[in-house]
Structure 1
Amino acid sequence: MPTILAFIFMFGLLVFVHELGHLIFAKRAGMLAREFAIGFGPKIFSFMKNETLYTIRLLPIGGYVRVAGEDPEIVELKPGHHIGLEFSQAGKVNRIIVNNKSKYPNARVIEVEQADLDHKLMIQGYEIDEDEKLIFDVEPDALFVMDEKETQIAPYDRQFASKTVPQRAMQLFAGPMMNFLLAIVIFYLLAMIQGVPSNDSTLGKLTEDGPAQEAGLQQGDKVAAVGGENVGTWVEFVEIIQEKPNETVELSIVRDGENLMVPVKTGVMERNGEEVGKIGVFQPKEKSMTTLATYGFTKTYEITTMILTNLGQLVTGQLSIDQLSGPVGIYNATDEVVSMSWANYLPWIAMLSINLGIINLVPLPALDGGRLLFVGVEAVRGKPIEPQKEAIVHFIGFALLMLLMIVVTWNDIQRLFL
């Protein structure tokens, strides 16, 4: 049960932060954000606020912000349609009843001759069995009513395509950006609480009844040499200890300005199928203002570099698709993280947040990076690619992405039973 709750919280947080970035910059640019969704598939929960429908959906495989103009508009008024109109106090149309007009007795029913709800915001037509042509002005936030459900119209100036290249690029980039910011904040909070890991060869906390404690070592002892080998950093110290499992090693330490020689019998642990030495000491931590201020950025940079390296190896064939993980694999890894220590849970969330940000910036159709690529091409050529062609590319990309998700999930399931 703790793993399920941990996974749900983690998934919800990562997707929420990502989509919140898209939502914030869509609204800042004046776009109409129709829906903010966590998950895909059938709705579990929803509410409406400030023009946007907020939903939680059944399948935990992502989320989205649906901005007007990114997909074909929901209703298109064609000549010959019979619609009902309701009016605001200013005399403009504020509700367009598309069907079930008998349920709206106050609506004025007309036959549409033409309508422009993108630019001119007008509907032209005739009352039933009348010859007089009528022209009605439409409010920019008027509502379509279909099957008794209301949907706000989207004039062109509220649509994605109407905005400048920088505004659209920022709206697309904002999701991954928020994932990187989340990681920076998590690492900063961890640094504030726990301190920043130091590469100094000074001993941090000692595990209870571990080899170091039994040998009389103390937190704060500075290791100068191990078995006659000089050490100056924590990494050097750990490498030497790991090379000596189940051996007695002599540590040269400095404590309160005094040089001491302390023999320690190393323990044994397994790592990547091999036995390595350990003495039960944690890495030292520091809390200087400089390290606290920069740790979130430096740690995020380190993990970003590591993930990009792995991504490059995947592209060049050094890593296979079998090594990728989907939701099932991530859930299993989260279970292992939580089982080992809840102290690893926040760094795990931060690492996945960085991973989500990077993957979304990959220039593949249906991902933020793919859509940014189209905006970049438009900026270079001075005009957008035809919406129909772009939509086809994104549809194919989304289908391939779903296929990849199925393959990766199947591999995850197989690994669970190996």
Structure 2
Amino acid sequence: MLITIIVIIGLSVLIVGHELGHFAAAKLFGLRVDEFGFGFPPRIAAKKWGETEYSINWLPFGGFVKIAGENPESDKEHATSNMGERKHLFHYQPAWKRVVVLVAGVAANFLLGWWLLAATLMMGTSPAVIVAGVSPNSPAEAAGLRAGDVIRGFKTTEEFVAFVGANRGTEVAIHTVRGSGEETFTLTPRVDPPAGEGALGVQLAETGAPPQGFFSALWEGLKSAVYVIGFTFQALGELLRNLFSQGRVSADIVGPLGIVAVAQRTGSLGIAYLFELLSLISLNLAVINLIPFPALDGGRVLFTAIEKIKGSPIPRHIEGMVNGVGFVLLLALMVLVTVRDVVRWF
């Protein structure tokens, strides 16, 4: 339960960090920010400092920012604004300023991902032996071991293999961490296992790394962040190809519930591993928001680019309608993935 709460808080920080990027860029250019919300309505409380109202809301997952003149709905409100007021409204800004405000959230997620990776490297990760796979019809499968289980009491695969080898034909207890709980499995290593399977029928992996210094961690974290961004773009391209060629959503995609389930297993290894997972999520958020799809930051940048090329703005009602359709499609995808998460993980 504690890990679940930590994960939800961590994911909220990533989303609030994204919105803080938009907020900071808007303030930098002197734009009026009407509201910065922590969580989503209904509202619990609000306090106004300067021209911005800061609210705390009941739904704790994430946050939002309302920049004056950002949405088509605000056009009527600001239609009669004088020239002095217009310099503080989003849609009266030069294209380059609007693009900077739009991509500032992406930049914030990249920075968060980088810093979390650096923090992970500075903390180091404890050595652990993990079940990477389970062979069919093996003692491990019969006992209930699963990929992702962390085997307690052993720092290296060599130690565990030696323990199993010394107890062939004898019943042994294997203590593991799964999700946020611990489990013990009783099984008997085979004396004469099939070739390539081993006495238990498990594939093993090791994890863990010694802590690094501050500057080394920053540099290595930056290199890792850039690599993750590149890899995510490749994976995204493959996902879109499968979506359009086969008409299906990849089974590898998970929603919020799936992320929490994965994080429970990851968090059981230690806080450094949880930081690493959150860094990957933050970097993935950066890439996803760059996609030129309606309702995403990348889609709004595309509208701005089209406006710059054609020399006149796209009618606000058309932009609003397209973004609305995009939002509905994204919401439908989220519902589909969440339902699949429930079936898969719960």
Task: Give the structure 1 partner of residue 88 of structure 2.
Answer: 158
Within 5 Å, give how 1:251-330 maps onto structure 2: 275-277=202-204, 285=210, 287=212, 291-317=216-242, 320-321=248-249, 323=251, 324-330=253-259
Q: Distance in 2 between matches of 1:311 and 1:335?
A: 25
State the AA in 1 paired with 2:323: H
Task: Give the structure 2 partner of residue 361 of structure 1.
Answer: 290
What whole-Å deviation, never above 9, does each CA across 1:233-267 have from its counterpart, x for those lacking one? xxxxxxxxxxxx999xxxxxxxxxxxxxxxxxx98
Task: Give the structure 2 partner of residue 170 of structure 1.
Answer: 100
State the AA in 1 paired with 2:304: V
Task: Give the structure 2 partner of residue 403 of structure 1.
Answer: 332
What whole-Å deviation, never above 9, does each CA across 1:33-61 have from its counterpart, x for those lacking one? 11112333311332222211222333355
The alignment status of 1:384 with 2:322, answered yes or no, reads no
Cα shift at 1:277? 4.9
Cα shift at 1:118? 0.5
User: Measured at CA, do residues 408 and 210 of structure 1 come closer, stay the same or move farther in structure 2, by a change above 3 Å?
Assistant: closer
Between the two proteins, what is the percent identity of the paired residues? Answer: 30
Root-mean-square deviation (CA), in Å? 3.4
* TM-score normalized with structure 1 length: 0.60
3-state SS, counterpart of residue 48 of structure 1: strand
Cα shift at 1:334? 1.8
Q: Distance in 2 between matches of 1:178 and 1:209?
A: 36
State the AA in 1 paired with 2:342: I
What whole-Å deviation, never above 9, does each CA across 1:76-128 have from its counterpart, x for those lacking one? 59xxxxxxxxxxxxxxxxxxxxxxxxxxxxxxxxxxxxxx84016xxxxxxxx
Q: Distance in 2 between matches of 1:310 and 1:357?
A: 14
State the AA in 1 paired with 2:107: M
Task: Give the structure 2 partner of residue 33 of structure 1.
Answer: 33
Q: Structure 1 regions of 5+ residues with no counterpart?
A: 78-115, 121-139, 141-154, 198-206, 217-244, 248-265
3-state SS, counterpart of residue 289 of structure 2: helix
Q: Distance in 2 between matches of 1:53 and 1:339?
A: 39
The 4+ residue runs of structure 1 with deviation greater than 6 A are 266-269
Cα shift at 1:163? 1.1
Is the contact made by 2:124 and 2:208 (CA closer than 8 Å) also made in structure 1? no
Q: Distance in 1 between matches of 2:233 and 2:6?
A: 26
The alignment status of 1:119 with 2:82, answered yes or no, reads yes
Is the contact made by 2:121 and 2:217 (CA closer than 8 Å) also made in structure 1? yes
Is the contact made by 2:115 and 2:218 (CA closer than 8 Å) also made in structure 1? no
Task: Give the structure 2 partner of residue 184 of structure 1.
Answer: 114
Q: Distance in 2 between matches of 1:413 and 1:46?
A: 35
Task: Give the structure 2 partner of residue 344 of structure 1.
Answer: 273
3-state SS, counterpart of residue 56 of structure 1: strand
User: Measured at CA, do residues 326 and 73 of structure 1 come closer, stay the same or move farther in structure 2, by a change above 3 Å?
Assistant: same
User: Measured at CA, do residues 63 and 285 of structure 1 come closer, stay the same or move farther in structure 2, by a change above 3 Å?
Assistant: same
User: Measured at CA, do residues 5 and 286 of structure 1 come closer, stay the same or move farther in structure 2, by a change above 3 Å?
Assistant: closer
Is the contact made by 1:267 and 1:277 (CA closer than 8 Å) also made in structure 2? no
Q: How many pairs are equivalent?
A: 285
Q: Distance in 1 between matches of 2:267 and 2:155?
A: 24
Cα shift at 1:215? 10
3-state SS, counterpart of residue 15 of structure 2: helix
State the AA in 2 paired with 1:53: E
Q: Distance in 1 between matches of 2:238 and 2:161?
A: 44
3-state SS, counterpart of residue 87 of structure 2: helix
3-state SS, counterpart of residue 325 of structure 1: coil
* TM-score normalized with structure 2 length: 0.72
3-state SS, counterpart of residue 38 of structure 1: strand
Is the contact made by 1:303 and 1:351 (CA closer than 8 Å) also made in structure 2? yes
User: Measured at CA, do residues 64 and 277 of structure 1 come closer, stay the same or move farther in structure 2, by a change above 3 Å?
Assistant: closer
Task: Give the structure 1 partner of residue 74 of structure 2.
Answer: 73
Cα shift at 1:347? 0.3
Q: Structure 2 regions of 5+ residues with no counterpart?
A: 128-152, 163-188, 192-196
Is the contact made by 1:11 and 1:60 (CA closer than 8 Å) also made in structure 2? no
User: Measured at CA, do residues 246 and 160 of structure 1 come closer, stay the same or move farther in structure 2, by a change above 3 Å?
Assistant: farther
State the AA in 1 paired with 2:221: G
Cα shift at 1:212? 4.3
State the AA in 2 paired with 1:330: I
Structure number, greater radius of gyration:
1
Higher relative contact order (CA 8 A, sep 6+): 2
Is the contact made by 1:15 and 1:38 (CA closer than 8 Å) also made in structure 2? no
Is the contact made by 2:123 and 2:272 (CA closer than 8 Å) also made in structure 1? no
Q: Distance in 2 between matches of 1:347 and 1:119?
A: 49
3-state SS, counterpart of residue 364 of structure 1: coil
Q: Distance in 2 between matches of 1:383 and 1:351?
A: 39
